[in-house]
Amino acid sequence: MRFADGEFDASVSTLALDVIPEIEQVVAEMKRVTRPGGVVASGVHQFFGGMPAFDLVIHTAAVLVTDFDKLRSRRAGRQHFWPQGQSALWRKIGLADVTEVPVVVDCEYPSFADYWATFTGGQGIISGALMTLPAELRSSIERHVRSGYLAGWPDGPRSFPMMFRVVHGVVPAGR
């Protein structure tokens, strides 16, 4: 970063570190630009087990499409975003008084069509991969996901929790 050492009272990242490959470098820079006694904090998605609405699609697609199996493994395998993964990194980087907590948010969908639209808009890794598939294969995935969404009940509202991992640490005096 183009900032001087200790220039800020805090460095905060929300929903970004989980999509940046150089996470250790970024957190080290966040620490560097934060003054001693200042806070370095982050909130990220918990990709492995923390996003059931997305998991329904990616697990279904992984059974039918090899590339989705690879995408699922890559997405779930980022251990920095498993429980206590960020806090371990914060300690490794040299931050003190590190805490990490889960934050759960309900994602409400009024119908399957509303839910499915989340994955057909082209935004995000899952949607992007899904939209590159041939229409027939995409329809097959949609049919199977619809069955999972409905779970034998009429179409209508469903709520899926989404988990985020929130961590903060303090830059020690003397770095």
Beta bridge partners of 100: 167
Residues 12-30 pLDDT 10s = 999 988 888 899 999 999 9
Q: What are the extents of the domains in the chain?
A: 1-46+83-105+162-175, 51-75+111-156
pTM equals 0.82
- The pLDDT, as a whole number, for residue 175 is 61
Q: How far apart are CA 157 and CA 138, in angstroms?
A: 23
- The pLDDT, as a whole number, for residue 79 is 83
pLDDT band (50, 70, 90) for residue 170: very high
Q: Which CATH superfamily is domain 1-46+83-105+162-175 in?
A: Vaccinia Virus protein VP39 (3.40.50.150)
Residue 88 CB: number of other CB atoms within 10 A?
Answer: 15
Please enumerate in sequence order all residues whose Cβ is within 8 A of that of 62, keeping only pairs 6 or more positions apart, or say none: 68, 69, 71, 72
Q: Are strands 158-170 and 34-45 parallel, antiparallel or unpaired?
A: antiparallel
Q: Which tokens sit at 108?
A: 């409400």
Residues 33-86 pLDDT 10s = 999 999 999 999 988 888 999 999 999 999 999 888 888 888 887 888 888 999
Residues 108-147 pLDDT 10s = 999 999 999 999 987 788 898 999 999 999 999 999 999 9
- The pLDDT, as a whole number, for residue 68 is 87
Look at residue 104 and tell me whether its pLDDT is greater than 90.
yes
